[in-house]
A and B are shown apart, each in its own frame.
Chain A
Amino acid sequence: MKALCWQGKTSASVERVNDPSILNPRDAILRITRTAICGSDLHLYDGYIPTMEPGDVLGHEFMGEVIETGSEVKKVKKGDRVVVPFTISCGQCFYCKNQMWSACDNTNPNAWIMEKMYGYSGSALYGYSHMMGGYAGGQAQYVRVPFADIGCLQVPDGIDDEKVLFLSDIFPTGYMAAENCDLKGGEVVAIWGCGPVGQFTIRSAFMLGAERVIAIDRIPERLKMARAGGAEIINYEEVDDLVEELKWVTGGRGPDACIDAVGLEAHGVGLAAAYDYSKQRMKMSFDRPIVLRQVMQACRKGGVVSIPGVYGGFLDKIPFGAAFGKGLIFKMGQTHMHKYMQPLLQRVQNGEIDPSFVITHRLSLDEAPEAYKTFRDKQDQCIKVVLDPWKEAAAA
């Protein structure tokens, strides 16, 4: 089959590799019909996540048709149309049973690496480095889905792939980021980052009762899309002091909840940012916590800081005094996907939201290496790329 393989920092190529096969009794094999490129993939592409190896198949947002099932797969049948969450969960451990799916104990074959780094290992992820399991990803024509009965969400007929594809990651991720803010109605929520995750966070915050959403980015088309979703917008490059600006527009209170939907590759200006860049470049740190600092500074007293943006290592110059002094509440982590997929599918079916609004590019798998660059550099007004692994590349 064709698959997009990581080849090293800022290098990926489409290769011919073996087709996946059933390796364990609870596995299924999918013929992938649609797959997407995520902001998280950019962290791999830019070389910020350790334990990637040349040849690793990328991709964790995919859906398709089941073509084969292992002997212990009971619910999922050949021919089912399914969308698959990016976290792999067993369904049987303490964490799965208590809806903390991304903390599953039993799916990471390399759990020992995470135990060394973090104390404990979370669930494995598709196509996201060997320390996260080393599973081959879904920017390919076929994929192996372990624990298929738990991992596959059956999609009813008559609903477009594009409307359900993002149940694999970014819609639940945005939703959980908003849910973590514990909204009761009437809140002001500020969201850093208007990438795909930010976009879904904006819409979810409104669904859950936020009265005002303030979206922060610098890319015009992303800010425009945020406004279309009902948010007020701030271009952080056009204001002197973002924290002061937020204070100003919230009657001096500060936002009730602040969401970091940017993560470790935050773009920044000024001295602190230059410091983070140079540290990252010298490999002294993998993370640039520019947004995280702002979020902690801007949040109102006793407010919630919700962090869907990914961080990997040790962070420097974190204003923990501010967090303590204001009694902030922190919520973060990989999304507990399985908890949200069914209810969010319901919302899509009810017509409350059409997730395909974020898609700006529809391409073939062969065009993926180029698309990574376009998406990363925010060229061509790119916000979200969806790939059809069976489509022939457009004639160059």
Chain B
Amino acid sequence: MTITTNLAPKNGEKEFSRRPATSTQEAILTLAAGSALAGLGIWRRGWFGATMGAAGGYLLYCGVRDFQRPYQGRVRVSYTIGKDRQEIYDFASNPQNWPRFMHAIQVENRGNGQFAFSIGEPAGIDFESNVQITDQQAGEHIAWASAEQMLEHRGVIRFKQAPGDRGTEVSVALEYKAPAGPIARALASLVGWGPEQVVRESLRHLKQLLEAGEIPTTKGQPSGARGIRGTAKRIMFREGPSEQAVEQTRMAGD
């Protein structure tokens, strides 16, 4: 099944351009990195090894696939939010609220239904993308398309009443063409910046904010010393990059 937004390309391109997303060198590099990781994973064994093995396997798969066709991605995410359709629409369509629930994205309102998006934490590395709202119907949907070719994407967010008084089904369908090679993509998804994750977490945050009134977090909570690997994983586990670690003093009794 295709996710065509139908409504999106009024002002944009009809079809994504067919440039292969990766060069041959990139794909070869990916294959090499993939084999190395997979080999290391098999050698290390255990839970951690399995993860590395899987990551390696994934890169291999990416490498092979990138030889075959241009990289184009699709994201489909849907959550049911236990609130009235109009209420959700009003909140979600107001650009002022976007920073409150968008995950890993900064937005700048350029007026005239045009927005500049960048991915990453403030002052992080950015992909900038200019976005044009292409269609909008109050309480129903908002469709957009990227304005330039570098990072192409278009998508639609829809609002639909859920059965059985369960609120509103909010769904996002997105098509994109990634500018980065598979290594960059794999890294991006490791820290939660992959397109799928950005959409999923943003929609989840919207739900949490509207239902529970806040987005759950553990950023800033206490923990013991984590060591190098543990500290690196704090980003993955949404504890945020580690803030100043307290000096650890081992207590008597252990």
> Is the CB of A302 closer than 8 A to any CB of chain B?
no
Q: What mask results when residues 352 to 376 of chain A are scored 1 for a CB within 8 Å of chain B, else 0? A: 0000000000001011010000000
The answer to whether B227 and A54 have CB atoms under 8 Å apart is: yes
The answer to whether B216 and A134 have CB atoms under 8 Å apart is: no
Q: What mask results when residues 328 to 367 of chain A are scored 1 for a CB within 8 Å of chain B, else 0? A: 0000000000000000000000000000000000001011
Partner of A2, one of B47, B167, B220, B251: B251
A interface SS class: loop
Partner of B238, one of A72, A91, A134: A134
> Is the CB of B197 closer than 8 A to any CB of chain A?
yes
The answer to whether B230 and A18 have CB atoms under 8 Å apart is: no
> Is the CB of B252 closer than 8 A to any CB of chain A?
yes
Partner of A15, one of B220, B227, B238, B250: B250
Q: Please, could you name 14 A-B residue pairs with CB atoms under 8 Å apart, sorted by A?
A: A3-B222, A51-B237, A54-B230, A55-B227, A92-B212, A107-B216, A112-B201, A130-B237, A133-B216, A133-B218, A134-B218, A134-B239, A147-B212, A366-B253
Q: A139 → chain B, closest Cβ, in Å?
A: 12
Q: A14-B254, A393-B253 are in contact. Are A5 and B224 (CB under 8 A)?
A: yes
B221 CB contacts on chain A under 8 angstroms:
20, 23, 135-136, 144
Residue of chain B at shortest CB distance from A284: B50
Q: A15-B251, A53-B230, A94-B166 are in contact. Are A106 and B211 (CB under 8 A)?
A: yes
The answer to whether B212 and A16 have CB atoms under 8 Å apart is: no
> Is the CB of B141 closer than 8 A to any CB of chain A?
no
Q: A23-B219, A94-B80 are in contact. Are A366 and B211 (CB under 8 A)?
A: no
Complex Cα–Cα for A368 and B26 (A): 52
A144 CB contacts on chain B under 8 angstroms:
221
**8 Å CB interface, A1-51 against B:** 1-3, 5, 7, 13-21, 23-26, 50-51
The answer to whether A55 and B224 have CB atoms under 8 Å apart is: yes
A366 CB contacts on chain B under 8 angstroms:
251-254
Q: A50-B47, A53-B237, A107-B216 are in contact. Are A16 and B225 (CB under 8 A)?
A: no
Complex Cα–Cα for A283 and B41 (A): 14
> Is the CB of B69 closer than 8 A to any CB of chain A?
no
* Extra inter-chain contacts (19) besides given A51-B237, A92-B213, A94-B167, CB under 8 Å: A2-B251, A16-B246, A16-B247, A20-B221, A23-B219, A24-B217, A26-B213, A26-B214, A53-B233, A55-B223, A72-B214, A107-B212, A109-B216, A283-B45, A283-B46, A283-B47, A283-B50, A366-B253, A369-B253
Complex Cα–Cα for A7 and B207 (A): 35
Residue of chain A at shortest CB distance from B230: A53
Q: A5-B223, A93-B212, A393-B253 are in contact. Are A136 and B218 (CB under 8 A)?
A: yes
**8 Å CB interface, B42-72 against A:** 45-47, 50
Complex Cα–Cα for A136 and B217 (A): 11
A24 CB contacts on chain B under 8 angstroms:
214-217
> Is the CB of A146 closer than 8 A to any CB of chain B?
yes
B167 CB contacts on chain A under 8 angstroms:
94
> Is the CB of A66 closer than 8 A to any CB of chain B?
no
Residue of chain A at shortest CB distance from B83: A92
Q: A288 → chain B, closest Cβ, in Å?
A: 17
B82 CB contacts on chain A under 8 angstroms:
92-94, 97
> Is the CB of B208 closer than 8 A to any CB of chain A?
yes
Residue of chain B at shortest CB distance from A21: B220
B216 CB contacts on chain A under 8 angstroms:
24, 88, 106-109, 124, 133, 146
Most chain A CB atoms below 10 A, which of B226, B227, B237, B248: B237
The answer to whether A105 and B207 have CB atoms under 8 Å apart is: yes
Most chain B CB atoms below 10 A, which of A21, A53, A90, A108: A53
Complex Cα–Cα for A24 and B209 (A): 12
The answer to whether A55 and B211 have CB atoms under 8 Å apart is: no
Q: A55-B223, A108-B216 are in contact. Are A364 and B253 (CB under 8 A)?
A: yes
Partner of A111, one of B204, B220, B247: B204
> Is the CB of A205 closer than 8 A to any CB of chain B?
no
